[in-house]
Amino acid sequence: MTFQGKKHPMARRRQIYEGKAKILYEGPEPGTLIQYFKDDATAFNAQKKGTINGKGVLNNRISEHVFTLLAGIGIPTHFIRRLNMREQLIRQVEIVPIEVVVRNVVAGSLAKKLGIEEGTPLPRTIVEYYYKDDALGDPLVTDEHILCFGWASQEELHDMADMAIRVNDFLSGLFAGIGIRLVDFKLEFGRIWDNDYSRIILADEISPDGCRLWDMTTGEKLDKDRFRRDLGGEVEAYQEVARRLGLFPEGEDSAVLDLESHRKRRGK
């Protein structure tokens, strides 16, 4: 092969967008994109930056698995199919500039903001909205702001909240079944257009980067808080989530990551 780029060997297509953890490339057909998962990790609005070796491979697999299961219960998603270890084919959407956060247990910013101890179970699930704007540090907003500034319509907001609750119900059960407590998570949605009409589908990714996942017996954190809080063992935590989801049977996990590091050593 003749590519020069060492960091992203798949970078042979036109790049559409580069985010903090992923890159979007032009897809093979109109209306499709290729989503490439990087190992880059950021926290606190990119004030903290690092790399988690193998994270992209794990998140690609985990997100594929979760989106496939969600499609199975009738949640429309942008996921089409996984292409290789770091890439998946997705539908091109117009991203709604709102991060939808669902919380079952007090943690992170909610614990800090209200001075409530992390780990306190919530008597009912909370759905929060954050306006996606890095320069503003993704501020918490209400539905009033969303409607007033036209970031989403009333109907879209209803669809997003409804899907977020359905995703929460399903994932809480899925993770409980493998001994993991789904504390909170973030979702992103996109619009797909059909002539003058649009509808909302689930976009982005669902992986330990955007979820809080605590081991139900030990309380151990199996998510990006390991990176945010300098706890170490990030890769092992992400691998443990993938392993419990049954994604790497018979030691295939080490094979996948060995292959990755082998490629890195060869500079490819």
What are the residues binding ligand ASP (CB under 6 A)? 20, 42-43, 45-46, 224, 228
Query: Which residue lies nearest ligand ASP, judged by its C-beta?
Result: 42
**102: helix, strand or coil:** strand
Bridge partner list, 203: 188
Distances 188 to 24, 96, 153, 165, 256 between C-alpha atoms, Å: 15, 7, 15, 13, 28
Positions in 161-180 near ligand TMP (CB under 6 A): none
DSSP-derived secondary structure letter, 13: S
Positions in 11-70 near ligand TMP (CB under 6 A): none
Give the number of residues in contact with ligand TMP, rule: CB under 6 A. 12
H helices of 196-233, in order, are 225-228
Least Å distance, CB 111 to ligand TMP, is 7
Least Å distance, CB 133 to ligand TMP, is 11
Per CB under 6 A, the list member of 61, 210, 214, 257 interacting with ligand TMP is 210
Interface stretch with ligand TMP, choices 51-59, 60-68, 154-162, 210-218 (CB under 6 A): 210-218
Beta carbon nearer to ligand TMP, 6 or 112: 112
Interface stretch with ligand TMP, choices 71-79, 104-112, 116-124, 244-252 (CB under 6 A): 104-112
Q: Look up residue 123 and give its two tokens.
A: 């008597």
Beta carbon nearer to ligand TMP, 155 or 169: 169
Least Å distance, CB 43 to ligand ASP, is 4
Using alpha carbons, select from 57, 67, 56 the residue that is nearest to residue 187.
67
Beta strands in the chain (DSSP E): 15-18, 22-26, 32-37, 40-43, 48-51, 79-82, 87-91, 94-105, 121-131, 140-141, 180-194, 197-203, 211-215
Per CB under 6 A, the list member of 101, 141, 200, 237 interacting with ligand TMP is 101
Per CB under 6 A, the list member of 36, 185, 214, 248 interacting with ligand TMP is 185
Q: Which residue has the tokens 């709102």?
A: 98
The answer for 78, left when phi > 0, alpha when psi is -120 to 50, beta otherwise, is alpha
Interface stretch with ligand TMP, choices 2-10, 108-116, 118-126, 251-259 (CB under 6 A): 108-116
Binding residues for ligand TMP (CB under 6 A): 101, 107-110, 138, 184-186, 210-212
